Amino acid sequence: MPKKNEQIADDLRHQISSGELAPGDQLPTEIQLATLYRVSLGTVREALHTLRSEGLLDTRLGRGSFVRHARRRIVRRGERHQREHDRVPLPLEERQKTGAVEFDTGLDFVDIEFHATYRPEQASEELAELFGISAGTKMLHRAYVSSQRAVNAPVSLIRSWLVWDMVAGNPALLTDANEPWAGGTQHQLSTVGIELGRIVEEFTARPPQPEEMEMLNIDQGVSVLFLRKTSIDTTDRVVEYSEVVMPGDRTIAVYTTKLERWSQ
């Protein structure tokens, strides 16, 4: 005996993949679907929940359920770091040409909306241990949201921490008024004499938190890619830590490992 909610989900999924239901189309209301499939409302809602988790539907309270437009996959390449590093010594106008986000997405600058908020913060236990400082040390907390303007689709949420005294030598680094900063964080750090030596990135996948669902415009059940990035300078000191939340249904993180050949 097949489960009714799965049968309904399968049927609607086929209608979507076959084009019978096109992107942007509104589905029948839940009550209509319940009548149509001769099941109760709860069963229909389970089926719709499944499809939302697969990123096929966009359901809005008071409006209805709609077939999602296929959303462009954003590619985030590991090469971005070396590229940003290489561009630090370049003159301002060169650095301005293309930032990291545009490099990742392949989109034009004008398509990307970018918002930054800076504020001082005291180091938590976890941050203190990571940076090798004592808890309560003054930090600079920076929060970024970047979106594709056209489709109201945030690309990532970023929270970043720096040790205040490490960057305070350049007051321009302490205010979000100078964002977006041409050349990114690596150039910012270079203005206080810091050069990065390596970057460690740790990926996990998890369900979104309620706040993230709202900010990334994703539904419950869509996973997020969660990235912890630690930047270490050429003297092996942790100088920056950030956490990046990316929508799992439209992000690809790419890392290329070039292998050194065997000695012939």
Partner DNA sequence: GAGTGGTCTAGACCACTGT
Partner DNA sequence: CAGTGGTCTAGACCACTCC
Minimum CB distance to DNA smaller for 1 or for 92 = 1
- Shortest separation between residue 61's beta carbon and DNA, angstroms: 4
Window of 42-50, 107-115, 129-137, 198-206 that interacts with DNA by CB under 7 A:
42-50
Which of 19, 24, 42, 89 touches DNA by CB under 7 A?
42
Residue 174 contacts its own copies per CB under 8 A: no
Residue 40 contacts its own copies per CB under 8 A: no
Residue 29 contacts DNA per CB under 7 A: yes
The Cα 125–Cα 133 span in angstroms is: 9
Residue 201 contacts its own copies per CB under 8 A: yes
- Shortest separation between residue 213's beta carbon and DNA, angstroms: 11
Give CB contacts under 8 A, 24+ apart, made by 62-68.
64/26, 64/27, 64/29, 65/26, 65/27, 65/30, 66/24, 66/25, 66/26, 66/27, 67/16, 67/21, 67/22, 67/23, 67/24, 67/25, 67/27, 68/23
- The answer to whether 127 and 139 are in contact (CB under 8 A) is yes
Which of 19, 24, 64, 89 touches its own copies by CB under 8 A?
89
Residue 11 contacts DNA per CB under 7 A: no
- Indicate which of its own copies, DNA, none lies near residue 252 (CB less than 5 to 8 Å, by partner kind): its own copies
Window of 13-21, 75-83, 105-113, 177-185 that interacts with its own copies by CB under 8 A:
75-83
- Shortest separation between residue 79's beta carbon and its own copies, angstroms: 8
Residue 43 contacts DNA per CB under 7 A: yes
Which of 18, 61, 91, 236 touches DNA by CB under 7 A?
61
Residue 1 contacts DNA per CB under 7 A: yes
Residue 88: C-alpha distances to residues 30, 155, 191 (Å): 55, 24, 10
Angle 99-103-104 (CA atoms, 0-180°, nearest 5)? Answer: 120
The Cα 221–Cα 54 span in angstroms is: 7
Residue 205 contacts its own copies per CB under 8 A: yes
Beta-sheet pairing, 153-163 with 138-148: antiparallel
Place of tokens 């439209």: 250
The Cα 242–Cα 244 span in angstroms is: 7
Residue 45 contacts DNA per CB under 7 A: yes
Residue 122 contacts its own copies per CB under 8 A: no
- The answer to whether 166 and 191 are in contact (CB under 8 A) is no
Provide φ and ψ at 241, rounded to 5°: -135, 135
Footprint on this chain of its own copies (rule: CB under 8 A):
42, 53-54, 78, 81-82, 85, 88-89, 195-207, 221-225, 234, 248-249, 251-262
